[in-house]
Amino acid sequence: MLKICVVGLSGRMGHVIFECCQGMEGCKIVSGVAKNDTPLPLGFNGEVVEDVNKLSAVPDIFIDFSRPDCSLSILDYAKEHGSRVILGTTGFDEDGKSKIVSTARSVPIVFAANFSVGVNVMLALIKKTAAIMQDADLEIVEAHHRYKVDAPSGTALAMGEVAASARGVALKDVMVAGRKGITGERQYGTIGINSIRGGDVVGEHEAMFLSDGERVTIGHTATSRATFARGALRAAEWLSQKKPGLYSMNEVLGLDKL
């Protein structure tokens, strides 16, 4: 039985992960990390701590959709105690990303901007399209609920990164995040990313490849957080048999072999 600890158990994603795990064979959510006096999923009867170092039993694997500062402490704990990590937190700075890479030398980690199966299929299609339509202008638009704290979204950045990689450039060198004022003509080879925040939007992403006379649009709309939760649980089962290393959903879903 795979023993899972959910980081942010009292949050929106924590509730959905717990609900999706019910009835699954081979895994169980036995503990959680959450702030005191926050609502836990109905039916959960495991251990809950505010500080991961207070856990009385070491979980086999963490599923973490929290914030960078919390996730970094989870990585420290996992490295010390030998737990695996499913990491869906976004908004890491370069130091945080470096720590993930270094921790993965001793801890098996699946790190993804988005655990939806559909989103990862979309990323694979964007990569292929960017390689074929080298001269097309690329614009990415993403929309999320009013409570999301980072922009652009991790998924939008991942879309830009796979496209930039297919064109042999680094996203940081060609990204234009939003436009304002007298911007002048669009610079050839740039990748535009625009963010929308409002309402209860779970997640919408669209990549537009714009050429003279035609446009190719590749997009994904999430209508329920359950799609992310199911993908994270699928990744957890897959990672339970893996050696230390930094993995993506490409490996989990076999997209790297296409």
Instruction: Give the span between the Cα atoms of 2 and 31, in whole angstroms.
Output: 12
Q: Could you tell me if 90 and 153 are in contact, meaning their C-beta atoms sit under 8 angstroms apart?
A: yes
Binding residues for NADP(+), as ranges, are 35
Binding residues for (S)-2,3,4,5-tetrahydrodipicolinate, as ranges, are 145, 154-155
Binding residues, as ranges, are 8-13, 35, 88-90, 112-115, 145, 154-155
* 81 catalytically annotated: no
Exactly one of 15, 99, 127, 144 is catalytic; name it: 144
Instruction: Give the span between the Cα atoms of 36 and 50, in whole angstroms.
Output: 6
Binding residues for NAD(+), as ranges, are 8-13, 88-90, 112-115
* 97 catalytically annotated: no
What value, to the nearest 5°, has the Cα angle with vertex 94 and ends 92 and 100?
A: 65
* 124 Cβ neighbours under 8 A, 6+ residues apart: 162, 250, 255, 258
Q: Could you tell me if 227 and 154 are in contact, meaning their C-beta atoms sit under 8 angstroms apart?
A: no
Q: Could you tell me if 245 and 101 are in contact, meaning their C-beta atoms sit under 8 angstroms apart?
A: no
Read out DSSP for 80-126? HHT-EEEE------HHHHHHHHHHTTTSEEEE-S---HHHHHHHHHH
Exactly one of 3, 128, 148, 242 is catalytic; name it: 148
* Active-site residue set: 144, 148
